[in-house]
Amino acid sequence: MTSPDPQAPRPAMPDTETVQTETARAHPTVRLKPKAEARAIRHGFPWVYADELVTDRRTQGLAPGALAVLEDDLRRPLGLVTVNNASKIIARMLDRDENAVIDQAWFAARLTRALALRERLYATPFYRLVHAEADGLPGVVIDRFGDTAVVQPNAAWAETHLDTLVAALVAVTGVAHVVKNGTGRARGLEGLPEDTQVLRGTVDAPIPVPMNGATYLADLMGGQKTGLFFDQRPNHAFAAGLAKGARVLDMFTHVGGFALAALAGGAQSALAVDASAPALALAEQGAAASGVADRFTTRQGDAFVVLETLGTEGAQFDMVICDPPAFAPAKPALEAGLRAYERLARLAAPLVAPGGYLVLCSCSHAADLASFRNASARGIGRGGRRAQLLHTGFAAPDHPMLLQLAESGYLKALFFRLDG
């Protein structure tokens, strides 16, 4: 039997710290490609795109919504993420602590922080409670309507952890009724099916929502999004301040939008236009509940067709508001979306009486403020009018913006005064 050669190289041993770390981790690891921008992740950017992640066989085998530790290309941990190979946003940052445990206590901590802000902002429990990444719950939207909450789990991980999220939501807020709204473009991008159901309690009628001196009726089961758009609250209020004694035209009104707020602020009359008959029926109920039904009328139809018809009729209003759905929800639709905003401004501007006001809104993620403002200005000019820009509004503070994620600051509202 020969003795080992003392000069022979010894077999390489694994790094003790690495072995201990891998052993201690409860989740698999995923790794950024060498050219991926790890610095942005470290500085708070919450997403990893599919072309930035190493998608080896192990990563591809992760179930949608699985948890994993994200590492940079040098294998240094960046945090705990959720992975969905079916999405262009392949990973979303959940916690900078890669050892975090995603349980009811974890959800409760984030919900408690979110609730503290909303209770400071509003005296009544009607608000957006969770605004996705900006509140530390990626892809999750929760709107509160008194003792009822509507949850939109728009990312695969939220669907997987929905029961735990709802249990924490009930414990933190005390709501008695919870609706899951599983509709919308975001879920489709995550490979999730549409599914709306009551998860706790009962919801069998539209819910009255007091806001800006008016009462809105929110259909939580069959309406658009979660049933009401809380994001426009401060812009409704600003418009109402300009609307005293005014004849108002509210395009894309949904369930009363700007029109009911303007009437509560003393507008002479309001014509509300929308393509949805059920939404207009709720708007009429809201007008009755607000005590302004005698000054409120509706018209169903395509907004562009109605604007052209009103122009042909020579109609005039002291305030015209256009709050359309997102014409540019993503970059591929940007140019077409900007043309649509320009056309909307061109058709709306001639309907504004001299010295009146034109309010143009965009909720498009892909259209930044400058692009939207320029398209609106071109449209006003093509409509034969000159304008002063008085005010630029954004989403209500219950829709906070994550500074590292421009998409979280999506809403823009431009208030113009038009001359003769």
Per residue, what are the HEC states of the chain?
Answer: CCCCCCCCCCCCCCCHHHHHHHHHCCCCEEEECCCCCHHHHHCCCCEEEHHHECCCHHHHCCCCCEEEEEECCCCCEEEEEEECCCCCEEEEEEECCCCCCCCHHHHHHHHHHHHHHHHHHCCCCEEEEEEHHHHCCCCEEEEEECCEEEEEECCHHHHHCHHHHHHHHHHHHCCCEEEEEECCHHHHHCCCCCEEEEEECCCCCCEEEEECCEEEEECCCCCCCCCCCHHHHHHHHHHHHHCCCCEEEEECCCCCHHHHHHHHCCCCEEEEEECCHHHHHHHHHHHHHHCCHHHEEEEECCHHHHHHHHHHHCCCEEEEEECCCCCCCCHHHHHHHHHHHHHHHHHHHHHEEEEEEEEEEECCCCCCHHHHHHHHHHHHHHCCCCEEEEEEECCCCCCCCCCCCHHHCCCEEEEEEECC
Alpha-carbon gap, residue 111 to 130, rounded angstroms: 8
The candidate with the shortest Cα–Cα distance to 356, out of 240, 260, 258, 246, is 246
- 209 in Cβ contact with 196 (< 8 Å): no
Please, are residues 57 and 85 in contact by the beta-carbon 8 Å criterion? no
Which tokens go with 314? 């020579």
* Sequence-distant (≥ 6) Cβ neighbours of residue 347 within 8 angstroms: 304, 307, 308, 311, 379, 383
Catalytic-labelled residue, pool 363, 413, 414, 418:
363
Full strand arrangement of the beta sheet holding 47-49: 29-31, 66-71, 77-83, 89-95, 47-49
363 is catalytic: yes
Written as one letter, the residue type at 351 is L
Q: Just list the catalytic residues.
A: 363
